[in-house]
Amino acid sequence: METFEFYTPTRVLFGKGQEENVGKLVKEFGGTTVLLHYGGQSAERSGLLGKVRKCLEAEGIEYVEFGGVQANPELPKVREGIALCLKEKVDFVLAVGGGSVIDSAKDIANGAANPDVDVWDFSLKKATPAKTLPKGVILTLAAAGSEMSESCVVTNPETNLKRGYNSRLNRVQFTIENPELTYTVSKYQTACGAVDIAMHTMERFFSPGEDTDLTDALAEAVLRTIIKNGRIAFYEPENYAARGNMMWASSLAHNDLTGSGRRWLLQVHQLEHELSGLHTNITHGAGLAALWGSWARYVYKNCMSRFVRFAVNVWGVQEDFEHPERTVMEGIRRQEAYYRELGMPLSIREFSIKEEELETLAEMCSFGKSRVVPGYKDLAYEDMLAIYRMSFEYEG
């Protein structure tokens, strides 16, 4: 087991009606002027924003609204939000939405608290935020896990680079999780969320490490939970239990619990970031689904026992002791069959990616052939290109 530090300071309020406590929570954490940050009009139509406004007003908290965040949040929007925070003297950022809104809120909070630093330098790891504004979340989409993670991912549309950075300062002070707020999430977004939650867990599970029995058991439980409840929520969007289990799985999958003691760096996520950075219309979860099977078939021989354990403990595959590779392949097949059942792609060609773009993707992911992403099998430029090509050519 690797040496690790587990740090999860985020306060979680889970259950029906918990959003009504948002004003008191903001006040408790020192907020007097709030940036109310959200995406499109769904939060308005549902009445959630109206409820949030009343809760803030009841506590005498001023607020300025800043909507319009899109999937794969972009740097220009972040810069606009930073300028608004500085102009209005904002001292608290409240994200109402899913991972895109939350990541945008984190970057805005860091940029506003460090106005002398170009916020994009954080993403490029040229600088580290020294301080931040306190942040809170009302979660409306179970997927990214940003509500309890220390990560922040933003896209620069000028360069098509999608980059993430980790910092303790990215941890939000509180997250409100009412499963009812996810009832109106579309089938497609529900499926993408299920993929993202599972992938955060699988990426840690398939990272180097030994003797992590408890961590592995927790990861397997999260995976079985999201497979079961993602399917239920897909067919029964107002099933409270399914939506609740998805929401809690989202948080646990990315707060580092399921990777404690393992040396993880999310390889498939690194590959996908370039995909949805180059084509911002690609939803992150769908991109992950299109890449995972090809990645798995490329690396499994370097960690055969992990893939056997995944097949047996997550998917209930009967282990073939004489031919472990058969067990591995059945586990991969069942994972992909689950993706397909939820309408997810299994090949990046399904996004109309052009073959000539494969080298560009590998070039971007390898940082101009200068980066190797570590794992049981390290991925250099040639490996990345091979995985992109396998996914492009995969017939499913």
Q: Which of 181, 200, 223 is the last residue before a domain boundary?
A: 181
265 has pLDDT over 90: no
Say if residue 70 is in the same domain as residue 95: yes
Which pTM was predicted? 0.94
Query: What are 158's two structure tokens?
Result: 């000028």
Q: What is the CATH number of the domain that holds 125?
A: 3.40.50.1970
Say if residue 281 is in the same domain as residue 338: yes
In a domain, 3, yes or no: no
C-alpha radius of gyration, the chain, whole number: 20
135 forms bridges with which residues in the sheet? Answer: 93
In a domain, 237, yes or no: yes
Say if residue 223 is in the same domain as residue 126: no
* Mean pLDDT in residue range 266-290: 95
Percent of the chain with pLDDT strictly greater than 70:
100
Dihedral of alpha carbons 287, 280, 76, 247, sign: negative
Query: What are 380's two structure tokens?
Result: 């250099």
In a domain, 167, yes or no: yes
Say if residue 78 is in the same domain as residue 100: yes
Query: Which residues contact residue 371 at a Cβ distance below 8 angstroms, ignoring those fewer than 6 apart?
Result: 365
- Note the pLDDT of residue 243: 98
- How far is residue 315 from each of residues 39, 143, 326, 338, measured CA to CA in Å? 36, 21, 14, 10
Q: What is the CATH number of the domain that holds 385?
A: 1.20.1090.10
Say if residue 241 is in the same domain as residue 256: yes
Say if residue 133 is in the same domain as residue 252: no
Say if residue 151 is in the same domain as residue 274: no
Measured distance between the N- and C-terminal CA atoms of the chain, rounded to whole angstroms: 36
Q: Which of 119, 152, 181 is the last residue before a domain boundary?
A: 181
Rounded CA gap, 87 and 341, in Å? 48
17 has pLDDT over 90: yes
Query: Which residues contact residue 324 at a Cβ distance below 8 angstroms, ignoring those fewer than 6 apart?
Result: 304, 305, 308
* Mean pLDDT in residue range 197-220: 96
In a domain, 2, yes or no: no
Q: DSSP of 78-98, one letter per residue? A: HHHHHHHHHHHT--EEEEEES
- Name the nearest CA neighbour of 290 among 383, 392, 187, 143: 392
Say if residue 177 is in the same domain as residue 191: no
Residues in the chain: 396
Total structural domains in the chain?
2
Burial of residue 100 (CB within 10 Å: 0-12, 13-18, 19+) is buried
Strand blocks (E) in 83-203 = 92-97, 135-139, 151-156, 161-166, 174-177
SS3 (DSSP) at 169: helix
- 312: domain range? 187-393
Say if residue 174 is in the same domain as residue 234: no
Say if residue 170 is in the same domain as residue 207: no
* pLDDT tens per residue, range 118-148: 999 999 999 999 999 999 999 999 999 999 9
Say if residue 173 is in the same domain as residue 252: no
Q: Are 371 and 125 in contact (CB under 8 A)?
A: no
